[in-house]
Structures are given as structure tokens and as C-alpha cells.
Amino acid sequence: MKFLDHAPRFLFFTGKGGVGKTSIACATAVRLAAEGKSVLLVSTDPASNVGQVFGVSIGNQITRIAAVANLSALEIDPQAAAQLYRDRIVGPVRGVLPEAVVKSIEEQLSGACTTEIAAFDEFTALLTDSALTRDYQHIIFDTAPTGHTIRLLQLPGAWSGFLEDGKGDASCLGPLAGLEKQRSQYQAAVDALADPLRTRLVLVARAQASTLREAARTHEELAAIGLRQQYLVINGVLPAAEAAEDELAAAIFAREQAAVAALPVALMALPRDQIALKAFNLVGLDALQHLLDVDEPRSAVVTQERPQALEAPTLAAMVDEIAADGHGLIMVMGKGGVGKTTLAAAVAVELAQRGLPVHLTTSDPAAHLSETLSETLDHLRVSCIDPQAETERYRQQVLQSKGAHLDAQGRAMLEEDLRSPCTEEIAVFQAFSRIIREGGKQFVVMDTAPTGHTLLLLDATGAYHRDIARQMVDKGVHFTTPMMQLQDPKQTKVLLVTLAETTPVLEAAGLQDDLRRAGIEPWAWIINNSIAAATTHSPLLLQRAANERHEIAAVANVHARRYALVPLLKQEPVGIHNLRALTHREEV
């Protein structure tokens, strides 16, 4: 493996949920420890399962892994760190500021930015305190800080007072007010990250166009701020031998090879490794010892009979229930790489095929959606919102209003804040909100919807909902704001998309919690690309299908009020004919 050659002291693994970065980080730690190196494995992943992987309880203290000589581990609980962080900021103003202001501050400190900055605050010492880590030759981090967080830490001037002065509003800068350590320590940590002799960043992706595009964005973002020592690992690639035995396996293999062949230009120059898809669950020492093997012997795949077919609700039945209302807003939500654009298109196509008027709107690049549909359809209208254009419009609006009276330092901080993911979501939602009202007369299917946290920021800062409410009350007019429509289950149905894998299910559950905090109750979950719901004879895929059943049961019995299971198809769901296969209306 190239990413292990002449490994520096610090190794960071980063990537979207479900791509396997925790497993690869753990396997790397085991491999280096087996070479006689003293290793500390650190996780800052909110969905961390490092302890589960090794079968021991770890927690927020350095713990020896008894089964592996030379290996210790530490799990920084980012949620607990974020809560302590919030308490430090909110505690002094509770009972001093009005309760509404305190709640607004708490919400501003409840997003992913706060969690990540709090985690960075926790592990900064591991990068800079030689006394704390002198016993370890390698420190491996499962989950790296994003370029956005690092840029925030590099900003000049004071971090405190931003919220109290009312400069932030829907802000990612608020979390900086709770940083405890000295600026010099953060600068030393950033310097360590940027030093190729000390640090290597490993981008983990799957052999899928969407996750490779995400890896390319991450690469460019981190390289732009000096973190250029990067390697690419494409994980979970189906072995060619499986493709010879099974139609589904052959189709998957062909798709993956095409995705790798069309690698984004930004990634082409990076040193690259591929890790084969394994049949076994990546839990336990034996599994970790074999994960990084270049070739998996055929004897490692245990042939098993196809299990009894799953009795699970279909997407067709879900669309039947949606169609019965005749109109409404359908919000399709989920983390990156789970297929929400495809499923939004599939739902829209199926509704239109029934003669129902449908407006499908997305903030994905227009080329991607036009490729997915590939043809026009009666009763279906498609619109694409340009996130870059909408974000720039929103940025200029905020800079002209909030930024008009700031000094140079304050304006620089505001401009950085406006480069955050929250800003794009808010800007895109303002564009979407012009379309939302159409749901009273037809179906509006919204792809790439904002998170519950973003919606709450909008509500808390009065950027939309409260402004409209105040204006309408003054006029004595009955009104419904976009936020109120989203909270009304008679007008809006939220569909959460996930995969039948541990991390995507945990991330979808977290998204559901965010929505509930915003007063929005998800209507249903969709489990996409399920091997367990497909037909295969491949021994490796059969074992993967068996592994999925636990996660499917968790969605059905714990997380979702209603759900649908969508099979992994032989044909990629591109074009109306193949999209309809997702709703079981046509065979492909």
C-alpha cells in the first residue's frame, strides 16, 4: 500500500460516512503495530465504532489494546466535547440575556461546525504536546478536520465576542468563542498538519462518481491551505473474479471500473491505492489483519445459500401512499453518496407517469440531473438551482447589511463565515422557498434539501420565517411561511435516504434528530442500493447481503415510522425506464 510507504508520524484519514475510513484507520494501526512500532489510534468521528471494531471499551482516555502489542487507542467523544464547549459559552450569559437570545446562541452552537471545532480543540495537544505523546512513533487519526475548520483557526484577531456583538447570525464563527487554548497552540497544530515530513492525509472514497467527486473537493480545499501531502484510497472495489459468476456482480464491477477510469482531474496526480471489497464484517482483529491484503484468497469467501427473501415494503407502495394526496411537497434528504438525487428523480417520474403534475427541483449540478433523467416526460417539470450563484447572491446581501459597519478584522471573519457549508444551505433554501408554495396545487419534489440545523438557524435569526411572520401580523393577514409549511405533515413529507450500512444509518438518525429539533417529523426512510433486496449468486455479495440485515432491522424497528427497501439494480438507474425499475413498475 503506497499510503503506508515511509509513513510519517501523523496519519489522518478523511472521507464521507460509509466509505470505510474507520476500518482502514484501524487496519493501518494494526499493520504498523505488527511492525513493532508504538501506535496511538485516535478517533474523533461522531459515529465512531473503534471500540466495537476491537471488541473493547475505549472512551476518552488512552487505553491499551490487549490483543495487539504496541497499540493504544483513544476515542474523543465529539458530542460530549461539543456539549462542554457549549456550556462554557452559554453558561455566563444564561439568566443575563433574554431567553430567546440564549436559545438562538444554543442553536448556533449545535451544528457540525461546533462539533468539529470542539473535537479539534480536544486533540490539538496530541499534535503539539511532546510530553503527552512521546511514547508513540505513530499517531493515527480517524477523521481529519475540514479545510473550513482549519481556515477558521487561521483567521487573524480575536475569536470571542462575535456572537455577543450580533455580528454572526447564522454563523459558524460562534463556536470559536469557546476555544480554550492559546492561539500559538492552534497555530502549532496547523503547522504540524501542513508539514509533509510529519503528516499525511489519506482521502478515502468508494469507486463511485459521487464519492470521488467529494474526495476531489476535499483535496482541493485542503491543498489550497497548504495541506498537500495527500494520498487517495479507493475502498471496497469488487474483485474481478466475482464478476465472472453473476450478472449483478458483473454490472457492479463494470460501473466501478468506469468510475475509476473517469477519476476527477484533481485526484489523478495523487498516489493511489485500491482495497478490494471483503465479504466479512470489518470487526475483530482477524478482519483488520486482512483488510489491507492486496489479494483475498477465494477460500476466504464462504459459499452460502441465498437466504430467505426479505419481506420489506417497496418504494412502489410508498409512492402509492404519496400519490393518494394528489399534491404536496416531498423533501428528499440524506448524507452524500446515498443516492438521494436518483431517488428524488424516481419518485418524481413515478408520480408524473400517473398523470399527476410534478415539479422536480434540485441544487445538484444540472448535468447530473439531466443525465439521470436523460429524456423529457409529460407532467414533469425540472428546475435546477445553481448553488454557487445563489450563495454569492446571499453573501453579497449579508456583506452589504451585516458587514457594512464592521472593521477590517470583523469583515474578514464574516467573509470566512460566509464560506461555510451552512451558508450554501441557507442560500439554496431561500431559492427553494420560492418554489415550495407550489406544493399546494401540485407535487414538488425537492432534492438536496437543507438540514434541520440550517432550518433552525434561519428561524432563529429571523432571516426568513420571523420576518414574514412579523410583516403579516402587522397587516392582519393569515399567512404560512416556508418554515411553517415544512413543519406541517399535511403539506410536507420528508424522505430520509440511507444505505444498509452502519455509518450511513447512524448519520441518517442524526439528521432525523436535527429535523425533530426544528419541529419537522420525517415521514419515511428509504434504504437504497440494498444487496439483500437484490438477486445474486455471488458468494461475496451473498455474505454482504447477510451483513445488511442487521441495519435494515434497525431502520425498521428503531428509527423509522415507515420505510422502503430499494434493491441494487444491474442497470444503473439512468433514464426514465431504469428509474421506474426502482419503483418496481417495469423490469430491466
For 434-481, what is each residue's pLDDT tens digit?
888 888 889 999 987 666 666 665 555 444 444 445 554 555 544 456
The pLDDT of residue 306 is 61
Sign of CA dihedral 410, 415, 421, 427: positive
pTM of the model: 0.79
pLDDT class for 292, splitting at 50, 70, 90? confident
> Is residue 502 very low, low, confident or very high in pLDDT (cuts 50, 70, 90)?
confident
Is 315-581 in the same CATH topology as 2-295? Answer: yes
206 pLDDT higher than 60: yes
Identify the weakest region by mean pLDDT among 29-33, 129-133, 235-239, 401-405: 401-405
Q: Under the phi-then-psi rule, with left for phi > 0, alpha for psi from -120 to 50, and beta for the rest, what region is 584? A: left
d(CA 558, CA 563): 11
Model pLDDT, residue 572: 82
pLDDT digits (tens, 9 = 90+) for 387-418: 888 888 888 888 888 778 888 877 877 777 77
pLDDT in the model for residue 82: 80
From 323-337, 357-371, 486-500, the region with the lowest mean pLDDT: 357-371
| Least confident stretch, 83-97, 157-171, 476-490 | 157-171
Tell me the longest C-alpha to C-alpha distance in the chain. 75
Which stretch, 34-38, 207-211, 386-390, has highest mean pLDDT? 34-38
Flag the least confident range among 101-105, 123-127, 256-260.
101-105
- Give the per-residue pLDDT at 464: 44
Q: Which fold has domain 2-295?
A: Rossmann fold (3.40.50)
Q: How confident is the model at residue 157 (pLDDT cuts 50, 70, 90)?
A: very low
Highest mean pLDDT among 115-119, 365-369, 378-382, 583-587: 378-382
Q: What is the pLDDT of residues 304-363, one digit of tens each?
A: 566 676 889 999 999 999 999 999 999 999 887 788 889 999 999 999 999 999 999 987
Q: Of all residues in the chain, what percent are helix, strand and coil, respectively (each to 5)?
A: 50, 15, 35
| Residue type present at position 143 | T
**Mean pLDDT computed over every residue of the chain:** 81
In this predicted structure, which of 176-185, 248-257, 273-282 has the lowest mean pLDDT?
A: 176-185
Q: Where are the domains of the chain?
A: 2-295, 315-581
478 CA to centre of own chain: 38
pLDDT at 536 over 70: yes
Average pLDDT over residues 213-217: 88
CA nearest neighbour of 337 among 146, 515, 202, 208: 208
What are the catalytic residues?
18, 20-23, 45, 503
In DSSP terms, 138 is beta-bridged to 39
Residue with cell 440564549: 102
Q: How does residue 135 score in pLDDT terms, banded at 50, 70 and 90?
A: very high
Percent of all residues in the chain with a pLDDT value above 70, rounded to a whole number:
80
Considering only CA atoms, which of 178, 568, 213, 576 is closest in space to residue 378? 576
Cell matching residue 539 = 458468494
Position 336 scores a pLDDT of 73
Predicted local distance difference test score (pLDDT) of residue 298: 45
Whether residue 71 has pLDDT greater than 60: yes
- Of 223, 447, 466, the closest CA to residue 347 belongs to 447
In the chain, % of residues over pLDDT 90: 35
Q: Does the pLDDT of residue 267 top 60, yes or no?
A: yes
Residue 320 has what pLDDT?
95
Question: Which of 53-62, 164-173, 291-300, 304-313 is least confident?
Answer: 164-173
DSSP SS3 for 374: coil
**Does the pLDDT of residue 586 top 80, yes or no?**
no
The H or E element spanning position 502 is helix 502-517
Q: Would you state the pLDDT for residue 377?
A: 87
| Res. 588: pLDDT tops 50 | no
Predicted confidence at residue 587, as pLDDT, reads 42
Look at residue 350 in the predicted model and tell me its pLDDT: 94
Look at the alpha carbons of 99, 105, 110, 116 in this order and tell me if their dihedral is positive or negative: negative
Q: How far is CA 330 from CA 264, 335, 370, 442, 561, in A?
A: 32, 17, 20, 11, 16
CA distance 406 to 421: 23
Q: What is the mean pLDDT of residues 116-130?
A: 81
Neighbours of 222 (CB within 10 A): 24
Chain center to CA of 279 = 24
Q: Which residues does 269 contact at the CB level (< 8 Å), separation at least 6?
A: none
Top-confidence range, 80-94, 384-398, 501-515, 520-534 = 520-534
Contact criterion met (CB below 8 Å) for 6 and 32: no
- Distance (Å, rounded) from C-alpha 323 to C-alpha 325? 5
pLDDT of residue 462: 43
Whole-number Å distance between alpha carbons of 74 and 55: 14
So what's the pLDDT on residue 430?
A: 78
Given pLDDT bands bounded at 50, 70 and 90, which one contains residue 227? confident
pLDDT bin (cut points 50, 70, 90) of residue 423 is confident
Q: Quick one: CATH architecture of 315-581?
A: 3-Layer(aba) Sandwich (3.40)
- pLDDT reported for residue 73: 92
